[in-house]
Structure 1
Amino acid sequence: MSRHKSSMLFMIAVVLAMAVALSACAPAAPTAPQPAPAAESPAQPVSVRLWHMEQPPHRVQRIQQLIDEFNAANPGIVVSQEPQNWGEIYTKAPAAVAAGNAPELLFAIPDFTPILKDLGKVQPMEDLVAEMDALYSFYPTAVEPYAYDGHTWALPLYNMAHSLWYRPSVFAEAGVEPPKTWEEWEAAVEALTRDGQYGIGLPANKHLYTDQVVYDFMVNAGAEEIYNPDGTLRFNNPQTVEAYDFYSKLYRFSPPDSPNWTWGEAEACFANRTCAMILQFTVITTYDTQAEGDPNDLGVIAIPHSPNVEESGTIAYSNAVMLLTDDPAKQEAAKEFLRFLLKPGNYGRFLNMEPGLFLPVTEAGSQDETFWNDPLAVKYRSQIETMIANARNGRLFGFTNGNTFPSIAAISAQNLLAQTLQMVVIDGKPAAEAVAAGQALMEEAIGE
């Protein structure tokens, strides 16, 4: 009971005692029926609003199912979801913070978190991260992009990582083995370009998808570091030039509409067999619903690497959730919901709001029965296992080797990796000249 309520009850008791004492001195009066004392109002439940950018209806439905289960089991808490979209959230969320109307929980990716953090509303999450890590064992690469300035600013929820997708039957028909090196990859792409089929589909749009695929090449050329440790840019280096040059070599075997591609066009090119290979987070849903749906003829491997790199790497996005309230009751309610989501039995179902796309960020999650018993996960288990393995060697530009450079948000927002690529594959500039120009654009973007 609160001190305020105790004081109020004491005051009421004193008043009643005085009334009794006064009545003893007064003449007796006929008694009248007295109304029953009013019942005390029950405490209001703690409300928690969740903003996320997973708009497709089946994802919203799965999240709502989990919310309903949590609310039923926790009558003192009411969680609600408000789906947003990535096209607006970079401006909408800061505006909500400024207006004092921010949600308690907001999904995030690494280059989005610093924007909110700089507004002073994002709460440190290292205590909850440590608690969940002790129980479920986070993959370190999932946590690293959110750990800087002495705190961990978000709780990882799921991962997304690129792999190289192909059909084994198409490779076998062309006498091609799955490539591991760039030399093997280039030979395979050339051999597979025939009879209306392109050896590979590579984007060239000034778009985030192109940024992502370009970075796949950079990682596998040893150019994953865009910054020096002191925060200056090192984009213009021989490894980056090598990555852009090799991209241009493979791009010769990509469809002519590649400059207009986003993720969907690449998946469609693979599904209709126009592209023999693509780099993508997943093709499982489109392959299963729009193509053959034969799990034995869907191949996925790590992205081939240059001779100067020992093992393959990939771009990987650790998606997380930020806490945006300093109210202790709301903080604890929000954390309780996150504990619920990461608990095995719930976590696998959360990931399978889109089977084969969202990958676990914990060891326990990778073994969660509810992650593997979804029909698509059962059907494509071997492919998903390979995706998880590839994701463990993931990187993200601006967030590598324990360094975090918030200015990457300006580079990413302007798609400068993709713009640099366009100089090479569309304008015909030599890779070295384009990369030098790209660094100049980046320096201008971040005010260096």
Structure 2
Amino acid sequence: MKKRIISAMLAVTMIAGLITGCGGNSSDKGRAGEDGKVKLTLWHMEETDARVQAFQEVIDKFNESQSEVEVSVAVQSWDDAYTKVPSAIQAGNGPDILQAIPDFCSVIYDMGVVQDLSDVISDLDEKYSFLQSSLTPYTYEDGIYAVPAFGMAQVLWYRKDMFDAAGLSAPTTFEELLECAKALTDKENSKYGIALPASLSMATDQVLYSLIASAGGKDVVNGENKVTFNNEGTVAALKLYQELLQYAPSDCDTYAWGEPQALLNQGTIAMAIEKGQYLSTFESESGVGAENLCCVPIPVLNESCTSTSIYYSNGFMLLSDDEAKREAAKAFFDFMLSEEAYGELLNAEPGLFLPVTETGGEYSSWLSNEVLQKYPEEVEGLLASAETGELFGFTDGICRKIGSITGPNLIAQTLQQITVNGKTAEEAAQWGQSAMEEAVSK
């Protein structure tokens, strides 16, 4: 898929609130209404206007494409999904199909309502060929519990115009990354080599984990709740992060996702680590051409390490155990992954939403997007990162208590042991190890 991507590119109403009485209860009947159609309710948590519209258009197309199934959608919020959705399910008011990310899937799995989709995924995989990285976090010992829909991966973004002016090449190792950050920093003129989130946030968790994984430390905690966070890779990544912050704006401790992107577009910084949302606004916000925004894989500690981005596979769970609804859901998933619909879904966020199938990566309905057309090599880079991506808590079995690590942002807290409390990288890694061990023991 990666090798063919550039040539392929060159060739080419929201329902709010909870819906009652529609959920995944075993007593639900698959067929309802005088029209004899199978009625499915789908909840997703993609709240932005573009995503709501894209999801609705895909669902409308599916409903219009056949006469046996009707899908209705309700938009929820990730802000309260971990409390609101389980409460709705327990009250018998949950949906038939529910959006998943890996740790949310584990929450719903523990409720005993999510259905094993191994047979459905086997059939879809034969037709579309799922990336293994998209399936791994939903693969439990007793089945596969979500159909992957789209993925998100990180790369190192850089301003090529600033690198060219300094006579620099894009970095591939930690050492080169630090050298570039230093060379591109001119604090007297408010220019910095890089910007990194250093706040107590998921953004910090994600960027730091990509560096930890690229230093050989991807296995933070395994399926038996054994924590292995305190290792050479973690220490090396913490040291690098601390050193890079010397060549970053002084208020990085307030940054999450948006600030580094804005600064890169402004030309205030030369590098940032983040996902593919950088593509859609670069030209309009920077005032320069698309050729000045480039990316490379996350730099590695040394040659023995593999560039590894944090990777989020977003998917859909089936909650209803009704056989007719199962078959209807399978038909919807099949349609969603087809070229007729998939490009439209992915292009709700061009570059951020990445295909989770080999076929999807070659669809002209995706690649013909006007934003993606300007960045063929960057799209190729994002796809490569997605194929080798990992997610802590899901690299060696599934840690069912991963929420106790992600919820309080323990990875970001580990960094703040250095930036706020003055610990060394070694001391911080040990603190993180102890904090995680305590968290998963409860």
Tell me the TM-score normalized by structure 2: 0.89
**Equivalent of 1:104, from 89, 96, 102?**
96
Inter-CA distance 103–293: structure 2 relative to 1 (3 Å threshold): farther
Q: Distance in 1 between matches of 2:211 and 2:422?
A: 19
Listed as ranges, the gaps of 5+ residues in structure 2 are 1-32
**1:45 to partner: Cα distance:** 2.4
Equivalent in the alignment of 2:27:
none
**Equivalent of 2:294, from 296, 299, 318?**
299
CA contact 1:251–1:425 (8 Å) conserved in 2 = no
Provide, for residues 243-294 of structure 1, a one-character-per-residue CA deviation record: whole Å limited to 9, x for no partner: 1111111111111121111111121121111121000102012213322352
- Which amino acid counterpart does residue 135 of structure 1 have in structure 2? K
Tell me, what secondary structure is at the counterpart of 1:404?
coil
Tell me, what secondary structure is at the counterpart of 2:310?
strand
Matched, 1:340 2:335: yes
CA contact 2:225–2:440 (8 Å) conserved in 1 = no
CA contact 2:214–2:300 (8 Å) conserved in 1 = yes
Q: Distance in 2 between matches of 1:372 and 1:420?
A: 39
**Equivalent of 1:420, from 395, 414, 424?**
414
- Return 45-54 or 157-166, whichever deviates more: 45-54
**1:74 to partner: Cα distance:** 2.3
Equivalent in the alignment of 1:444:
438
Identical positions, percent = 40
- Which amino acid counterpart does residue 412 of structure 2 have in structure 1? A
For the pair shown, the structure with the greater C-alpha radius of gyration is 1
**Equivalent of 2:226, from 215, 228, 232?**
232
**Equivalent of 2:318, from 313, 318, 323?**
323
**1:228 to partner: Cα distance:** 5.1
**Equivalent of 1:215, from 203, 209, 215?**
209
Equivalent in the alignment of 2:123:
131
Provide, for residues 194-226 of structure 1, a one-character-per-residue CA deviation record: whole Å limited to 9, x for no partner: 131111011111110100011011011101111
**Equivalent of 1:248, from 211, 236, 242?**
242
Equivalent in the alignment of 1:355:
350
- Which amino acid counterpart does residue 367 of structure 1 have in structure 2? E
Which protein, 1 or 2, shows the higher relative CO under an 8 Å CA cutoff with sep ≥ 6? 2
CA contact 2:222–2:394 (8 Å) conserved in 1 = no
Q: Distance in 1 between matches of 2:47 and 2:223?
A: 37
**Equivalent of 1:114, from 96, 106, 116?**
106
CA contact 2:154–2:273 (8 Å) conserved in 1 = yes
**1:310 to partner: Cα distance:** 3.4
Matched, 1:165 2:160: no
Mapping 1:58-207, distance limit 5 Å: 58-194=50-186, 195-207=189-201
Listed as ranges, the gaps of 5+ residues in structure 1 are 1-40
**1:394 to partner: Cα distance:** 0.7
**1:308 to partner: Cα distance:** 5.7
CA contact 2:222–2:398 (8 Å) conserved in 1 = no
- Which amino acid counterpart does residue 374 of structure 1 have in structure 2? N
**1:364 to partner: Cα distance:** 0.4
Tell me, what secondary structure is at the counterpart of 2:102?
coil
Q: Distance in 2 between matches of 1:90 and 1:177?
A: 44
CA contact 1:315–1:396 (8 Å) conserved in 2 = yes
**1:398 to partner: Cα distance:** 0.7
* RMSD over equivalenced CA pairs, Å: 1.5
Q: Distance in 1 between matches of 2:146 and 2:117?
A: 6
Count of residue pairs the alignment pairs up = 407
Tell me, what secondary structure is at the counterpart of 1:91?
helix
Q: Distance in 1 between matches of 2:438 and 2:34?
A: 58
**1:374 to partner: Cα distance:** 1.3
Matched, 1:396 2:391: yes
CA contact 2:223–2:400 (8 Å) conserved in 1 = no
Q: Distance in 2 between matches of 1:96 and 1:416?
A: 29
- Which amino acid counterpart does residue 354 of structure 2 have in structure 1? L
Q: Distance in 2 between matches of 1:42 and 1:112?
A: 36
Q: Distance in 1 between matches of 2:313 and 2:332?
A: 19
CA contact 2:46–2:75 (8 Å) conserved in 1 = yes
CA contact 2:215–2:306 (8 Å) conserved in 1 = no
- Which amino acid counterpart does residue 75 of structure 1 have in structure 2? S
